[in-house]
Every structure is written in C-alpha cells, then in structure tokens.
Amino acid sequence: MEPTIFDVAQAAGVAASTVSRAFNKPGRVNEATRQRIVAAAAQLGYQHRPQNRALPGPRHRTIAMVLSDITNPHFFELIRGAEQRAKASDVTLVIVNAEESRRIEENQIRDLAAGVDGFLLASSRLHDEVLRDLAKLHRIVLFNRELPGLTSVTFDTAAGCQQILEHLASLGHQSFTYCAGPPSSWMGAARWAALSAGAEAHGLTAHRIGPYTPNVANGGAAADGALRTDVTAVVAHNDLLAIGIIRRLTQRGVRVPADISVIGFDDIFAADFVHPSLTTLAGPGSHAGRLAVELVIEQFAARQGDGEAIRLPTELVLRESSGPAEHRA
C-alpha cells in the first residue's frame, strides 16, 4: 500500500498537518523540521501530489460520513481518524446516522448530495446496484464493505477469521456457534463465509444462528440460542453482542470461559472492562478512518475513484473470555 501523509508524520515525529505545511507552505515550517519530513518521505517512498494537499477547488470542502449505526462504539476510532485527516486538509466532516435503515441511508445521501463533495459510507446497508448507481453521480468510498468498481477500506476478514479458528483449535474446541448480525451486513456475511469455510481444516464444526440485532440487549437471546447448539465456543457478530452473551451466560450459571468461550469482533473500548474481559478481533480503526477520507479527497481529481480495495491487517486480542474446552458428553 502506498505510504500516506500520516505514515510520513509518524516517521518524522510530527503532526500530519505539519507534513502538509512542509510540502504546501514550506515557509511556515522550521527548516530543520522540514528537512526531517522530506527525509522521512524519501525513505518511505511517499510521493507528494496536489490532491494530497487538500481538495483542489471543491465547491463545499465537505465530506459526509454516513454510519450504519452511530451508537456503535466500533465507529469511534474510525470517526477520530477521519476527523484528523479532514482537518489536515481543511475539510469539514459531517457525521450522519443511517439508523440501520437502507431507506434512511439512501435518502440522506440524496439530501446531502448538493451540499457535500463526497461520501464515506461506513458499513453501508444499501444494495449493490444502488451503490453503483450512486457512485456514477457522487464520489464514494466504502468502509467495512467491498464492491467491485468502488474504492473501499476493510479489515482483512479472511486472515482475521483464520486467527480465530487457530485459537479455538489450539484450545481443544471441536465446535463453535456463530451468532449472526443483520442480514444486510456485508461484513457479517464475509465473517461467516470465512469461518465456515475454514472450520473443517482446523477440525472444527461450525454452526450459525440468528440474525440478531448487534447490541448488548440482544445478546441474551443469542446466548440462549447458542446454548441449544451444545458447543464449547461462541463467536459473536460484534463485541456488543458478545458482551450481552457473556452477561446472559453468567445469569444462567454458565461459566465463561470454563464452560463456553466467547469471542467478538471490533475490540471496542468496553471489551477490556466487561468481566471476564473479551477476546476479540481488532483492526486499526483510526488508521482506516484517515485512509478512507484520504481516498475520498484523492477522488476530487476525477468524478470516480479507481475501484481500489484496501484490506488492513487484523489482530486477535486475547483476553479472559476464551480458554480450553471442556468437552461434555
């Protein structure tokens, strides 16, 4: 992946805005600092282009970030990174909540289109054909969703699910249940596809139940459903659902992880505070936000992007909610 202004900033030990000024307004940067930035850029192979600076003459200097559910903590780091990148280019970022509704999401995009210069759609629930039609009219970058022909930023689902399968197999588990999220979730479908496809190679049997609304409140129903499958491990659509599952299992006297291991996705801030703390698959949310906004900005040189699909690495964060299996008769 091509190095970004943020990679240069990290290497040089300065803010991204300082890197931007070093290239675009060098007179406003200390000469020693500027030279350090230039050296870092050369070492990383960073190529400064006009679109890296800011939007070249947009009408509004505004990008709309449309979130599938603004109450989901998974988006906190994404928003933070997106705001940092927008600020570095003097661009306004507008945050919009789609409320897990295709109708609301599509209406918001159409209502905002006349007043913004591009869209970052996070976990979009829109149908593929609708997204393609919108991309013909607007500059769009997807997050947590891939679609051929559209530029997207996702976490490497296949590699991440491989880590989960290896972890469960190493602990002696023979089966697990995946508690699915919204049927319209592209990422949820990708996770189940990766988990189910790789399970047999690790000596695991995969079950799927749901769908469930991915929040803490619905974790109770998911936990009850998982218990009926008589498995020793549960993988939840996201951390919120996983936390609800842990709470319900505890209420029913089921020990986590002694009786059932629980694994989530997203590594939200609460994952480290729930008891037991939650094992979960993490991705670089803040970096994803910065990169996604940068890709929107780069599209201002043309109406459409190049359809690049960028997949960022994931890491399984091991905590207390997963442990050795106790195989029951």
Same-domain status, 253 and 167:
yes
Per the structure, how many domains does the chain have? Answer: 3
Q: What is the pLDDT of residue 51?
A: 42
Residue 186 belongs to what domain range?
Answer: 157-283
Same-domain status, 288 and 149:
yes
Q: What is the pLDDT of residue 97?
A: 96
| Residue 320 resides in a domain | no
Burial of 149 per CB tally in 10 Å (0-12, 13-18, 19+): middle
| Residue 328 resides in a domain | no
Same-domain status, 24 and 64:
no
Average pLDDT over residues 191-200: 98
Same-domain status, 164 and 84:
no
| Residue 325 resides in a domain | no
pLDDT band of residue 30 (cuts 50, 70, 90) is confident
| Residue 322 resides in a domain | no
Q: What is the pLDDT of residue 52?
A: 44
CATH of the domain at 170: 3.40.50.2300
Q: What is the pLDDT of residue 9?
A: 80
**Chain centroid, CA 291 distance in Å:** 12
Average pLDDT over residues 230-235: 97
Reported as a single tens digit per residue, the pLDDT across 49-66 is: 544 444 444 567 899 999
- Side-chain half-sphere of 67: how many Cα atoms within 13 Å? 18
Reported pTM: 0.81
Mean pLDDT, the chain, integer: 90
Q: Which residue has the higher pLDDT, 327 or 83?
A: 83
Same-domain status, 91 and 146:
yes
Same-domain status, 181 and 277:
yes
CATH of the domain at 23: 1.10.260
Same-domain status, 104 and 133:
yes
| Residue 324 resides in a domain | no
Q: What is the C-alpha to C-alpha distance for residues 64 and 123, in angstroms, rounded to an integer?
A: 14
